[in-house]
Each structure stands twice: as structure tokens, then as C-alpha cells.
Chains A and B, each alone.
Chain A
Amino acid sequence: MSRARWLAPVVAFVALAFLVAVLPSFISAFRAQQLAYVAIYLIALIGLNVLTGYTGQISLGHGAFMAIGGYTTAILIADHGVKDIWTIPIAGILTGVVGFLFGIPALRLSGLYLALATFAIAVSMPAVIKRFEGFTGGGSGINLFGLPDLTASLTPVTVLGRELTFNDWLYYLCWTIALVGYVVAWLLLRGRTGRAFRAVRDSETAAQSSGVSLPKYKTLAFGVSAAYAGVAGSLFAIATTFVNPDTFPIALSILLLVGVVVGGLGSLVGLIAGAVFIQFLPIWSQEVSKSPGAPAIVSGVVLIALMFVLPMGFAGLLARVRTLTKR
């Protein structure tokens, strides 16, 4: 890549990181918490984008992967006294392995069938969680609030000389991981792996005849995307300080897919917009009208309108702006 092309994204990224770093000083604790959730969704979306945007495999079940990550963290903290931060990579790796293993039978399914299979898994996840009560705490879930291993939950924690309350700590934790995850994904997708992924999406038969091993890359994509979702789920559990079977419903899986499409498939940049969208759309819809059912109507209409106006998602809008400013 020529230096000019390479410079712009790096500058933008650094600016973003800077913004993220200083923002909490200017916003309320409540907002900080909301933005922490944006980061969590962003992590999940990065993962889902690798799967759907890059290899073209549709998943309606990433909420289930988040559930695995979330419950891993919750069980490790509550039952085994593991410090919350250490549970995050464990959750990520575990979920990644599960995702990779799922990717193997998923090789036989394409498009719609894969979507239905992942949908079925996501819908059945709450029931499965309830079934293994002894392990997961069943319907009553696992409570993390007040546990000493949950950083900053009882007393503020000191990081780099600053005292952080829970919401601010959460914000920085989630965004640090999100930004790191972003860079990792960017590096992964730039190189040979990314090209292989895209080859799989564009034409499986062509990719195969050029020597791209379909099973390897498709399962790898599943593993990577699941790992991201697992990390997101882990952070989600830490953020909500509580998990039960309804923490990760089918609506979450659908929301994630919406986020990736609205953000713009195959592009990392739009995903931030996608994450903001899925965090704030329900809130904004409520502000339009509180009558029962009205927020749902607003959300639905906005979704439909977006597909008309921005068929390529926010990433498409950005691309258009970029071509306009080049002239």
C-alpha cells in the first residue's frame, strides 16, 4: 500500500483512540456505561463481520456464542473465584473453539440453511441453559454483583494513577479491548487470510480451484468470529453483573445481524456506526413515542427505510463521501 493510503486509516484510528480516551471526562457515568455497551457490540460485530461480511456465511446465532462467553465468565468468577479480567481471554478462547467445532458440520450448509441452523441454536440456547441447572444456575441465573473478583464493583479501582468508578472502568475496559480487537481484525483481514476469506465469499468453486482450502478457511472464520462474540459476551456479563437464560435471547442474535448489515458488510469502519445503531435505536424509538408498540413500529420503519436509503450500510455512505471528496 502506498504511504498516503496507509496513513489516512492510521490517523483516523489514532484520532478515534484519543477521542475514546478523553471522552469520559466530559460525559455522565450513565453515558459512559451506554458507550461501554457500544464497544461490546462492536466487538461482537467485528467477529460477525468476519464470518458474514468476509466469508459470506450467514449466522443468526451469534447471541448464543455471546451466551457461552458470558456464562463462562460468570461461572469462573462466581464459582471459582477467578478475577474477571482473566476470564475474558478464557471465554474468548473457549467460545472460539466451540465456534470452530461448529464450523465443521456447518460446512455442509449454505446460505439459508446455515441461517436456519444458527437460528435454531440461538432460540434453543435459553432452554439449554435452563436444562443444565446445576452448572448454570438455571432460571435464576448467576449474580456477579458485589463479588470481590469483579473489578471496581464495590470500590473504585486505580488504573495508571487515576481512580475509576465502575462505569468508567467498564468503559475503558471495553473500549481498550474493542480497539485492540479492531486492529487485530484489520491485520488479519489485510493479508492472505483476508483475501482467502473474500475469495470464499465471492465464489466458492473459484476459490477451491485456486487452491484455497474451503474447510480450513470457513471453519477458521467461524472460530474467529465466535471468539470475538465470546469476548463480547464475557464483557456483557461483567457489565450487567448478572446472567440468566434471558440475558442472551434470540433478539440479540437478530440485532447483531442487523448491526452488521446496517454498518456495512465487509467493512470495519461502518461497524462502529452499526454498534451505535443497535445500542441506541431502541432508546431513540422510545423517545419518539412511549405508547405500547410504538417504539417497535419506529424501529421497524427505520430498519426498512435504512435498507432503501443506505443499501450498503453506513460503510456505503462513507465510501460515497470519500469518492465525492476526491473530486
Chain B
Amino acid sequence: MADFMQQVVVGLSSGSIYASLALALVLIHRATGVINFAQGEMATLSTYIAWTLTTNHGWSYWPAFAFTLIASFVGGVAIHQGVIRPNEKGSVLRVVIVTIGLLLAINGLVTLIWSGEVRAVPSPFPTRTIEIGGVAISIQDIGTIGVVLATVVVLWLMFQYTKVGLAMRAAAVNPAEARLVGVRVTWMLSLGWGLAAVLGAISGMLAAPSVFLDPNLMAALLIYAFAAAVLGGIDSPIGAVVGGLVLGVGLNLLGTYVDFVGADLRLPGALLVILVVLLVKPSGIFGKTEVKRV
């Protein structure tokens, strides 16, 4: 039983990382109707920035973390304003190609500046374990879950109780009407991209200590995030979080207890989840089935 609880906690920890990135994808999709294929690479870039500040410039962890979040936010806003917005009027495919271009360019940039070497990243949390009810749980896992949870709560409070949050929600569901009440819709969308970049950065910085840092850090994570977002409902923020946690726990338990699956069939497992959900209920657990207006 203790072993089971341990695996659940580990699953929740990796699940929160998926949830954070999935939330980023959902935010952008809700606001701009686009899947940002470059979300993972943006997160990788953020993680490298944090790493370089702590390792090469002697910053201590949490200030570097905070700075990276701010830089990521600004970067997200800049990318939306500079590259995405001019293409929004065209077909969805145009924006998709632009995000693919961003994916390539950012991946290349990271390789160019920092080379493809794999690097070890220190964790902000002590690596020891503590005992809760007879179960050994690593502080890092608790810390990861805690950070993501705190972020999600802060975001939720912002969306529900602030003027800006309300404006962002309005801009996402009804941009034309939002303009009529004076909401600067384009800036609200940029804000969405900025927040998504922050979420991605958090994902990356939490994942790096365990999976090591190299330019392809987020490639696999992006797929888990897709799976989580599809599972939870691509337009539902709650769904992204729940989907991520469920996926994390589910894949971890499968990998531990079902011999056939093993560690390296986690990725196909996630892909299978995507396919099954899309076949059975495309709108995911929390999504609303689309009603086509004739």
C-alpha cells in the first residue's frame, strides 16, 4: 500500500508538470483558437535562461525563477504581438505554420547559444524524502505539486475576481462584443500568450532537474501535455489540470504495475489516450460537445 501511495505521489508530481503545460496550451487555444506547437520550445528557452542565471551568473534559485517568469511573460506577449497577430486574420493553418516556424527557430537558437550538451540542473527543493503516514515521499515531488497548485489557484483567482481576468475571458469567448464594451481584445490575447509562456516556463523549470536539460527537453513533454489537454477538454482549464494529474498518475501506475507497459511505453500510452479520447468523446471530460449552428 505504501508503495502504491508513493507511486501516486510521483504520478501527481509528473502530472502537475503535464498539467501546467497543458494549461498553457488550453489558454492559448481558448483565446486565439490555435494550437501553439512552439509552446514546448518556448518553455525550453525559459528553462535555459533560468539555468544560465543560476549556473553561469551565480544567481540563487528563486530570484532566477522569478526573473525567468517575467522574461517569459514579456517574450510571450512579444511573440503574439509581433508574429502571431498579423497572421490571425488568415486561415488557422497559417498560424500553425508560423508556430512550427517558431518551434524550429527557437530550438535552433537554443542549440546555437548553449550547444546540444545535456546539462544537469539543480533542484530548488532538497532531494531527501520525508515520511508521511509511513510512506516515503520526496520533497521535490511535493514541491512540484505545490508550485503548480499555487500557480493554478492564483490564475483562477485572477480570472474570476479581477477586471483584467474578466476582460480576458470575454475576449476569448466573444471578441467582437468585447470590443464594443471597450476591451482591447488584441492586448488581452497577448496577455494570454504571456501567461501561457509563464506556465510553460514553470513546467520546464520543474521538469529539468529530473530529466536533465538539453534542447529537446520539452518535445516529449509537449506530447504528454497534448494528451492531458485532449483528455480534459481542449477548451477547459480545469480539464487541463485534471487531465494532467490523471494522466500522470495513470501512466505512472501502468508503468509500475503492468509489466507489459514498462517505462518506455509511456509515450505511446499518452498517444493512445489521445486517440481513444478523440474517438470516444472528442471534447474530453470537461469539454462541451460543439453545437453546429446552421
Contacts and interface: CB of A to CB of B under 8 A. Distances in A.
A and B touch in the complex (CB under 8 A): yes
A300 B102 contact: yes
Given A127-B268, A308-B86, A296 B275 contact: no
Interface stretch (B6-14, B50-58, B89-97): B89-97
Contact of B109 (A124, A204, A297): A297
Given A116-B274, A120-B271, A299 B87 contact: no
A116 B90 CA distance: 20
A98 interface: no
Given A109-B282, A307-B101, A296 B107 contact: yes
A271 B96 CA distance: 19
Query: For chain A, what secondary structure do more than half of its interface residues adopt (helix, strand, loop), or is it mixed?
Result: helix
A161 interface: no
A205 B294 CA distance: 6
B103 interface: yes
A205 B292 contact: yes
Contacts of A258: 97, 100
A115 interface: yes
Interface in B182-208: none
A261 interface: yes
B105 A109 contact: no
Contacts of B290: 110
A307 B108 contact: no
Contacts of A123: 223, 267, 271
Interface string A7-29: 00000000000000000000000
B234 A261 contact: no
Contact of A307 (B98, B103, B274, B278): B98
B112 interface: yes
A291 interface: yes
B279 A296 contact: no
B254 to A, nearest CB: 16
Interface string A120-145: 11011001100000000000000000
A86 interface: no
Residue among A257, A293, A296 with the most chain B CB within 10 A?
A293
Contacts of B271: 120-121, 123-124
A306 B90 CA distance: 13
Contacts of B105: 296-297, 299-301, 304
A293 B274 contact: no
Interface in A46-70: 52, 58
Interface residues of B, number: 47
B274 A292 contact: no
A123 B275 CA distance: 12
Given A111-B92, A112-B234, A308-B87, A297 B35 contact: no
B230 interface: yes
Contact of B278 (A58, A117, A205): A117
A108 interface: yes
Contact of A108 (B98, B109, B282): B282
B199 to A, nearest CB: 19
Interface string A94-122: 00000000000100111111011101110
Given A105-B279, A117-B278, A124-B271, A261 B94 contact: yes
A265 to B, nearest CB: 7
A116 B228 CA distance: 12
B116 interface: yes
B106 interface: yes
A111 B283 CA distance: 12
Interface string B104-142: 111111111101100000000000000000000000000
A273 to B, nearest CB: 15
Interface string B66-105: 0000000000000000010011001111101110111111
Contact of B226 (A116, A302, A306): A116
B218 to A, nearest CB: 14
Nearest to B270: A120
A32 B272 CA distance: 41
B98 A304 contact: yes
Contacts of B83: 304
Contacts of A108: 279, 282
Contact of B104 (A52, A265, A296): A296
B111 to A, nearest CB: 3
Contacts of A299: 101, 104-105, 108
Interface string A295-321: 111111111101110010000000000
B65 to A, nearest CB: 25
A97 B92 CA distance: 29
B108 A296 contact: yes
Given A116-B226, A265-B93, A294 B100 contact: no
B112 A116 contact: no
Nearest to A299: B104
A58 B115 contact: no
14 contacts: A58-B93, A110-B290, A112-B29, A116-B226, A120-B271, A123-B223, A127-B268, A205-B292, A205-B294, A297-B104, A297-B105, A300-B107, A301-B105, A307-B90
Among all A-B residue pairs, the 4 with the closest Cβ atoms: A300-B105, A296-B108, A293-B111, A303-B101
Interface of B: 29, 35, 83, 86-87, 90-94, 96-98, 100-113, 115-116, 215, 223, 226, 230, 234, 265, 267-268, 271-272, 274-275, 278-279, 282, 290, 292, 294
Given A123-B267, A295-B108, 12 more contacts: A116-B274, A116-B278, A120-B226, A127-B267, A254-B100, A261-B94, A293-B108, A302-B101, A303-B97, A304-B101, A304-B102, A307-B87
